[in-house]
């Protein structure tokens, strides 16, 4: 056979094999395009489900804020959010355009139904609030039905996303298998082409085809196993090898982007789950210290690269005290004044970053070189503290995309702190006398009721105290002067008794002191100290002296648990005897008169 014929046959065979190889690679590239389309559809549907859930949550938040604060701005924000949610629902209803299956379309309709159910409850709550039925409005928004409906919405969104993920995985597997098959065909064709070229055009095949394909085969295999860390050197040639190289390069970039998006999605889901757990736990806290401990436990899990400090303000003070901090140096101040923080001045979050020179720096920062986000804690129109987040290291910055979550955490911490302060105030009003600050009659009754379950240390003494001639003070100087006398005496009573016992305002001008682990002599000594120091008090009201104030004291002691039941009545009886005897005396229930 002539060399020319062999060359022509080799040329024809080479052309045929090259065409087959190119077709296989093009088919592989088309499979990659199908993968991208599947991923894009997955991202669109995932984003749609997430936006529906977030929109419903934002609408709920605005409805709750409106019934809590009554601010029309929140009602307007509610309506805007509702309009945006309706637009999303219209997009969701057109599921075929989005590439959904009938089963996914049915799930989208189920999610829309959940959102509509929440909307009905929220609008009913707003109508109830506008009608003046605030309790019903809050009950609808914060009650179990709304909570269960919200949980159902979240559960349906999660199931929908799982369904989309499952379908996407199947489509990606099919595309991967098709791509692998075409790759195999291409490799066989290229191998045959290499054999022909080795016999006819050895040097051309070696320099232009064999070496690049050998390198590309390893890259494609690693990419097929989803090893996107492999480097793909960009080949500028204009032949089929160059196109294949660029296609593989695009495939690698798409794979890296897909991994990045998946990592962001997993991080976002983890953050939301942790924030949800944090919200549930801060609402169940019983004290501000417990609130700080919960925040310090969860904040590093949510944002491990950020340190933080929680400052809270006591009633009527302009100084903020550190309640909790995490992943921060001990150089940070334990107390700051409100004017030192620009976030508290402006009433909104403030970002301090020295290197950017974009804004002013808060004066309370221990290290101004560390980027810090300060978020004021405000709820129900009251600024109660500050939550600051900084980079755990000097080079770490607070990411802008994380600030929404940080502000959400701050809002929930503020609500929990306000609720705890309100609970404390209510407890003070229930247990303490508003005029003197002493424990009230109700607290005394509760204490005697607790003696049945938890008896005090015996012997226990009881002092029943009455301010002598108190009516004369009211008649001569006025009731405000009488209030001044009782407040002054209450302060002296707290000072003398201290940690030895508990002081109560029994009613009117009568007071009770319970002294556990005090016998007659010890209790009598304290009673005499109270009586003598009261007689020496110089009390004035509006610049006018109220004269000498004296007291009468009845003393009773319970040496056994059975005597506790009559302890108060016996002390009261001793007080009556003291008043009959001549006042300004301490009288034991056995009628032993103390020198006056």
Tell me the CATH class for 287-427.
alpha beta
Name 305's Cβ contacts closer than 8 Å, sequence gap at least 6: 391, 392, 393, 396
Residue 115 confidence (pLDDT): 81
Give 105-147 pLDDT, tens digit per residue: 777 788 888 888 888 888 888 888 888 888 887 888 788 888 8
Interval 283-302: pLDDT, tens:
888 888 888 888 888 888 88
pLDDT digits (tens, 9 = 90+) for 451-462: 867 888 889 999
* 373-416 confidence digits (pLDDT tens): 888 888 767 788 888 888 755 555 667 777 888 888 888 888 88
Mapping DSSP to helix (H, G, I), strand (E, B) and coil, where does residue 338 land?
A: helix
* pLDDT on residue 572: 93
pLDDT range class, residue 356, cuts 50, 70, 90: low
User: 502 — alpha (psi -120 to 50), left (phi > 0) or beta?
Assistant: beta
Q: Strands 586-588 and 551-558, how do they pair?
A: parallel
Task: Give the pLDDT confidence of 146-200 residue by residue, as tens digits.
Answer: 888 888 878 877 887 788 788 777 777 877 777 777 777 777 877 777 776 665 6
Residues designated catalytic: 509
Mean pLDDT, the chain, rounded, equals: 80
- Per-residue pLDDT, 595: 38
pLDDT reported for residue 594 = 39
pLDDT at 593 over 50: no
Q: What is the rounded distance in angstroms from the CA atom of residue 52 to the CA atom of residue 86? A: 9
User: Are 337 and 318 in contact, with CB atoms under 8 Å apart?
Assistant: yes
The Cα angle at residue 43 between residues 41 and 46, in degrees rounded to 5: 105
Domain ranges of the chain: 3-257, 287-427, 441-588
| CATH superfamily, with its number, for domain 441-588 | Reverse transcriptase/Diguanylate cyclase domain (3.30.70.270)
Residue 510 CA from chain centroid, whole number? 47
Residue among 593, 571, 591 nearest 466 (CA): 571
For residues 110 and 106, give the distance between their C-alpha atoms in angstroms, rounded to a whole number: 6
Q: In angstroms, rounded to a whole number, what is the distance separating the alpha carbons of residues 66 and 47?
A: 28
Is pLDDT of 355 > 70?
no
Domains 287-427 and 441-588 belong to one CATH topology: no
> Can you read off the two tokens belonging to residue 267?
């991080």
Give Cβ neighbours of residue 354 (< 8 Å, ≥ 6 apart).
Answer: 361, 368, 369, 371
Burial class (CB in 10 A: 0-12, 13-18, 19+), 529: middle
């Amino acid at each position: 056979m002539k060399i020319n014929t062999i060359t022509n046959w080799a040329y024809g065979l080479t052309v045929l094999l090259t065409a087959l190889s190119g077709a296989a690679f093009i088919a592989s590239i088309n499979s990659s395009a199908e993968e991208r389309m599947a991923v894009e559809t997955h991202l669109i549907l995932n984003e749609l489900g997430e936006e529906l859930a977030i929109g419903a949550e934002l609408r709920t938040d605005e409805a709750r804020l409106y019934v809590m604060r009554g601010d029309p701005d929140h009602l307007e924000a509610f309506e805007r959010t509702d309009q945006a949610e309706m637009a999303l629902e219209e997009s969701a209803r057109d599921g075929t355009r989005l590439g959904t299956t009938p089963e996914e379309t049915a799930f989208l309709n189920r999610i829309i139904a959940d959102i509509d159910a929440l909307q009905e409850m929220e609008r009913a709550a707003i109508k109830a609030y506008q009608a003046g039925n605030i309790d019903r409005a809050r009950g609808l928004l914060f009650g179990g039905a709304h909570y269960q409906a919200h949980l159902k919405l979240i559960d349906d969104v999660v199931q929908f996303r799982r369904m989309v993920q499952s379908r996407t995985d199947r489509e990606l597997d099919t595309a991967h298998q098709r791509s692998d098959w075409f790759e195999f065909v291409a490799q066989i064709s290229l191998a045959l082409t290499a054999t022909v070229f080795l016999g006819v055009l050895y040097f051309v095949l070696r320099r232009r085809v064999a070496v690049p394909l050998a390198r590309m085969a390893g890259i494609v295999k690693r990419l097929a196993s989803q090893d996107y860390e492999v480097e793909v050197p960009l080949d500028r040639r204009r032949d089929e090898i160059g196109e294949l190289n660029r296609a593989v390069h695009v495939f690698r970039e798409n794979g890296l982007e897909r991994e990045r998006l998946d990592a962001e999605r997993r991080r976002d889901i983890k953050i939301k789950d942790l924030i949800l757990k944090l919200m549930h736990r801060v609402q169940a806290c019983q004290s501000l210290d417990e609130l700080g401990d919960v925040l310090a436990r969860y904040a590093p899990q949510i944002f491990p690269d950020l340190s933080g400090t929680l400052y809270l303000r006591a009633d009527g003070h302009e100084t903020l005290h550190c309640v909790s901090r995490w992943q921060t140096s001990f150089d940070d101040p334990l107390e700051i004044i409100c004017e030192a923080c620009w976030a508290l001045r402006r009433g909104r979050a403030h970002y301090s970053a020295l290197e950017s020179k974009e804004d002013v720096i808060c004066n309370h920062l221990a290290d101004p070189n560390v980027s810090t986000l300060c978020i004021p804690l405000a709820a129900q129109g009251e600024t109660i503290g500050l939550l600051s987040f900084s980079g755990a290291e000097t080079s770490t910055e607070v990411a802008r995309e994380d600030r929404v979550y940080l502000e959400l955490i701050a809002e929930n911490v503020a609500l929990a702190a306000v609720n705890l302060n309100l609970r404390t105030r209510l407890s003070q009003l229930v247990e303490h006398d508003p005029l003197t600050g002493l424990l009230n009659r109700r607290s005394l009754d509760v204490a005697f009721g607790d003696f049945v379950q938890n008896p005090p240390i015996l012997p226990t003494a009881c002092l029943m105290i009455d301010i002598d001639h108190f009516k004369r003070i009211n008649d001569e100087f006025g009731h405000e002067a009488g209030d001044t006398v009782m407040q002054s005496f209450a302060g002296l009573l707290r000072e003398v008794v201290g940690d030895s016992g508990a002081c109560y305002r029994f009613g009117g001008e009568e007071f009770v002191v319970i002294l556990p682990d005090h016998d007659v002599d010890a209790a009598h000594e304290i009673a005499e100290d109270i009586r003598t120091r009261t007689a020496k008090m110089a009390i004035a009201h509006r610049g006018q002296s109220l004269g000498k104030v004296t007291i009468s004291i009845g003393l009773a002691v319970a040496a056994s648990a059975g005597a506790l039941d009559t302890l108060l009545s016996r002390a009261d009886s001793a007080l009556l005897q003291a008043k009959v005897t001549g006042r300004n005396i301490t009288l034991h229930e056995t009628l032993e008169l103390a020198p006056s």
